[in-house]
Each structure stands twice: as C-alpha cells, then as structure tokens.
C-alpha cells in the first residue's frame, strides 16, 4: 500500500506536506500487527467474515465463559468422544491424565472392539482372528503433526478392527454448528417471497452457499 501512495505523492507534489512520515508508517504497521490478532479471533469466534464483537471487554467475558464451560463439561465425556480420543493416533491415551479415567477409557474401547470384531466376523467369509490390536496400537509412536485420517488410511490394514471403529467414531462431528448453519441457510433461501422454489433449485442454491 505504501508503494502505491508514494507513487501518488510523486505525481501530486502539492500533497507532500500532508503525507505520512516514517514514524507514522511504523505506528500503522504496529497497529496492523495488533489488529490482525483480533481479526483472527473474530473469525474463530463468529465463523464469519464480519466482526460480531465490537467491545474487547465483551470478548474477554465470552472467552472466560467458554473456558468455564470447557472446565465444567470436560468431566462429562460421553462414550463416542472417549473412544474418538483414543482412536486419534497423535494423542491416544494422553488425553486422560487421571490413570483411573485412562483405564476406564481403554476398558470401554476393549468392550466396543469386541462388538466390532464379532460384527466383522459375521460379515466376513472367513473367521476373523485378531491379536491384541489395542496393545500394538498404543505401542506405536506417532508424530503429533501427523494427519490422523492419513495415518489410518496407511496403517488401517494392520488394525482391521480398530480401523473400522475409527471410520465410525472419527466421522462424528465435534459440534452441531454445521447442521445448525445448514438450517439457517435454508431459512434464508426459502423465504416468504421465494416460497415457490422447486426442490432442485433450492437444493442447488443451498449447495452453492455452503
């Protein structure tokens, strides 16, 4: 931006007295770096291109409330979330700091593994015999930066039961936000003045907006 303005001032010398000095540009660059953090935070909090929070005090209050709720509900982890955490090869049992909770989570995984094993055995033409997949799975060291879907795609053949469990549990969405957004898009698309849209047209418009 500064390069363009410099060229503009060169062509309009009469405005040079009003032009920003080097110190002014330093201040602007500092402000840009500061405001960029707020821009990123706004996108994360609002999932929108437009800011919905214009008061920093409100931002702090919202952040504190979110943190409070996370601390409150972290103790109430349901079965799908527990198994999903264990089937993330980057963290596995590290998610559970308390040893008792860790043991209960692994026991839950073993119970579910037995169910999936019997299910796959019924569907397979040959009897499926599986070693202790859980022990081998936890023994593998995984880079924290690994993409978990790529990892299961690559190693899934070595863990026939756990790979099927990962396919089921890791596909569960972490929140209902996306489904709620879909309903909001539908409400904004099929309005009172556009209530005669054909189903195919409404479907196409919603796909374009998603």
Q: What is the number of other CB atoms lying within 10 angstroms of the CB of residue 59?
A: 15
Q: How far is Cα 63 from Cα 70, in angstroms, rounded to an integer?
A: 11
Across the range 147-156, mean pLDDT stands at 90
Average pLDDT, the chain: 78
Mean pLDDT check: name the lowest of 32-46, 79-93, 137-151.
32-46
pTM of the model: 0.50
DSSP letter at 21?
Answer: P
Distance CA 106, CA 83 (A): 8
| Three-point CA angle 40, 91, 67, nearest 5° | 45
Is residue 3's pLDDT more than 50? Answer: yes
Is residue 88 within 8 A of residue 149, CB to CB? The reply is: no
List, for residues 170-204, the tens digit of each pLDDT value: 888 776 677 777 777 777 788 888 788 888 888 88
pLDDT (0 to 100) of residue 50:
47
Count of CB atoms situated within 10 Å of the CB of 130: 15
Q: How many beta carbons lie within 10 A of that of residue 137, not counting itself?
A: 21
Q: What is the pLDDT of residue 151?
A: 93
H-only helix segments in 129-176: 133-139, 148-155, 160-169
């Amino acid at each position: 931006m500064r390069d363009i303005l410099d060229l503009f001032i060169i062509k309009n010398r009469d405005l040079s007295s009003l032009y920003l000095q080097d110190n002014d540009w330093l201040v602007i660059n500092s402000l840009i770096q500061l405001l960029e953090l707020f821009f990123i935070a706004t996108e994360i909090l609002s999932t929108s291109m437009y800011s919905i929070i214009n008061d920093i005090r409100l931002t702090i209050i919202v952040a504190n409330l979110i943190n409070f709720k996370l601390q409150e509900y972290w103790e109430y982890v349901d079965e799908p979330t527990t198994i999903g955490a264990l089937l993330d090869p980057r963290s596995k049992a590290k998610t559970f700091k308390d040893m008792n909770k860790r043991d209960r989570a692994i026991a839950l995984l073993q119970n579910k593994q037995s169910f999936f094993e019997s299910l796959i055995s019924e569907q397979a033409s040959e009897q499926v015999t599986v070693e202790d997949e859980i022990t081998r799975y936890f023994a593998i060291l995984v880079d924290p930066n690994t993409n978990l879907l790529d990892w299961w795609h690559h190693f899934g053949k070595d863990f026939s039961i756990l790979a099927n469990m990962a396919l089921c549990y890791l596909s569960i969405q972490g929140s209902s936000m996306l489904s709620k957004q879909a309903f909001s898009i539908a409400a904004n698309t099929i309005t009172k003045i556009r209530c005669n849209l054909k189903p195919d047209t409404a479907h196409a418009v919603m796909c374009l907006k998603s």
